[in-house]
Amino acid sequence: MISFNYENDFEIDNEVVLGKWIQEVIESEGCELGEINYIFCDDNYLHSLNVEFLDHDTLTDVISFDYTVGKVIQGDIYISTERVADNAQDFNTDLSEELHRVMVHGVLHYCGYTDKSELEEGAMRMLENHYLVLLKDI
């Protein structure tokens, strides 16, 4: 089950399509969907989580808490819509594409991918791009 929760005024209007897409990503990676909660919030909300749980006093676009057991993908993905909007502008892309990239990025972490090195980061970016194309076909 995928749920979408809002801690600010932001709302996505295609929850069914995005839920189906995320489930297809998970299955394509040889995993099974458990429960994923997307929580959309503002910078202050996400910053407080970053300080409290990760001891990072910085702004970020996404924080994910991974509760995956084996191949059953589960977790909470917190997304700052303010940060995503700023990043979309900085990267010269539209808001929905940047939002979708961040959404799939969190799920790819749950599927076992990391982005600690430049090589891993490049591999994740390629997977994100692959799955963004898949979304356009849904």
The burial class, CB within 10 Å (0-12 / 13-18 / 19+), for 63 is buried
What is the phi/psi pair of residue 74, to 5°? Answer: -145, 145
Element (H, E) at 81: helix 81-90
**Is position 130 annotated in a ligand binding site?**
no
Q: Is 39 helix (H, G, I), strand (E, B) or coil?
A: strand
**Is position 94 annotated in a ligand binding site?**
no
Report how far residue 65's alpha carbon sits from residue 76's, in angstroms, rounded to the nearest whole number.
Answer: 5
Report how far residue 41's alpha carbon sits from residue 30's, in angstroms, rounded to the nearest whole number.
Answer: 30
Report how far residue 71's alpha carbon sits from residue 2's, in angstroms, rounded to the nearest whole number.
Answer: 16
Q: Is-contact 73 31, C-beta < 8 A?
A: yes
**Is position 105 annotated in a ligand binding site?**
yes
Q: List residues forming the annotated binding site.
A: 105, 109, 115
Q: List residues forming the annotated binding site for Zn(2+).
A: 105, 109, 115
